[in-house]
Amino acid sequence: MRRLVIATLLSLCLPATAAQAAAVGDIPSGKTLVVIGQSGVDKADAVQRATGAKPAGAMWYLGLYEDDLQPQLDSIADAVRTHRGLAVDLGISFGAVSTPSPPYTAAIAAGAYDDRIAQLAKTIKALPTVVYLRIGYEFDLLGGQYGPPEAYKAAYRHVVDELRAHGVRNVNYVWHSSGAFWRGTDTSIFATSSGSLAKAIRDTPLPQDAQPIAAFYPGRDYVDAFGISYWQDSCCFGRSAQQARDEYEERTREILTEAKRMRLPLRISESTPAYIGADSGAESVQWLDNTFRLIEDFDIGALNLISIDWQEGGFFAAPFWNGYWPDARIHHHRRTRERFVAELAEPRYVQRSRNLPKKLGLRSSRRR
């Protein structure tokens, strides 16, 4: 009888234990991975050459609807092979205005692109490292750039289910919000420029968030961490007044608090010094200080810093952005480089090492 009682109690405890089990890629409290983007390991290499620091990871992007994923997948595999211990951060688009392309969300959820997911799974399984996968990144951009919440959640879950069915075990699934002021249903979007209207709305008893992140939540079985984009200013009417930037910061912290209440580990999944860039002296240094303070205040486990010159050309250099995407090469300009190097010397920040995947919970570095 005693054995039966013990066995029954253990069986009742198993579901809770499984739900709380550590995922591959979980980052210990008090530690922050440094990841450099925009896309390709050459950006991380540039930071290493300029600063001596070795970024823990590099970033890539692809759309499941694209005709040929192989070049991007080969780029990832080559980088991991030549940079022992490199963590991979991969943003997966369902197709959206920010890509830019039409959304393919419903088709992905229905299985129309399962061949692409299988192709993705084959590459990821063979990588001797941890992959941080941001499926349908910036899901709440403009109120939901991939479509209604239910469509987004169905596509997200389908991708995870397919990857698991293909035996992928070295992935940490990051649910990535666009953050403050990009969400068309959020009244705080009115903080653009002066911030006065947003403050007036905030001072009223009206609901502040018509579409909370919880509406898009795929569920704890599908999410290992919550990521947020962090620019410190809204787009695209020129540098905002201090009040508007204060509103941005307050709203960012509200979203992170909401995710923390959901017991999700936190990440900064995209960040760049909007408008001011890395060459604005004290303002650029202040941007870094604000970022480091946010990391400390919320025990954020990863800093995905986009350290590039956005103005070199392409979609993000177009005039309609009104300078929102500047020269953001933190490593290139002396004052930001010195501040960045000083911060990365702190024990919180994790850089690349050969045994980093093992430290992140990858049981074996052998090819799967």
Per-residue pLDDT of the chain (368 residues; tens, 9 = 90+): 444 333 433 333 433 333 456 899 999 999 999 999 999 999 999 999 999 999 999 999 999 999 999 999 999 999 999 999 999 999 999 998 777 888 999 999 999 999 999 999 999 999 999 999 999 999 998 888 999 999 999 999 999 999 999 999 999 999 999 998 765 555 556 566 666 666 666 666 555 555 689 999 999 999 999 999 999 998 888 898 898 899 889 989 999 999 999 999 999 999 999 999 999 999 999 999 999 999 999 999 999 999 999 999 899 999 989 999 999 999 999 999 999 999 999 999 999 999 999 999 998 744 44
CA distance 9 to 162: 33
Q: Is 307 exposed, middle or buried (0-12, 13-18, 19+ CB in 10 A)?
A: buried
**Residue pair 245/287 in contact by the 8 Å Cβ criterion:** no
Which pair of tokens denotes residue 186? 């959020």
Looking at the chain, which runs of residues are DSSP E strands? 32-37, 57-63, 87-93, 131-135, 171-177, 225-230, 266-271, 302-306, 349-350
Residue type, 155: A
- What residues have CB less than 8 Å from 220, skipping those under 6 apart? 19, 263
Q: Shortest CA distance to 198 belongs to which of 258, 255, 243?
A: 243
Q: What does the domain layout of the chain look like in residue ranges?
A: 27-359
**Residue pair 188/198 in contact by the 8 Å Cβ criterion:** yes
Task: Supply the pTM of this predicted model.
Answer: 0.90
CATH of domain 27-359: 3.20.20.80
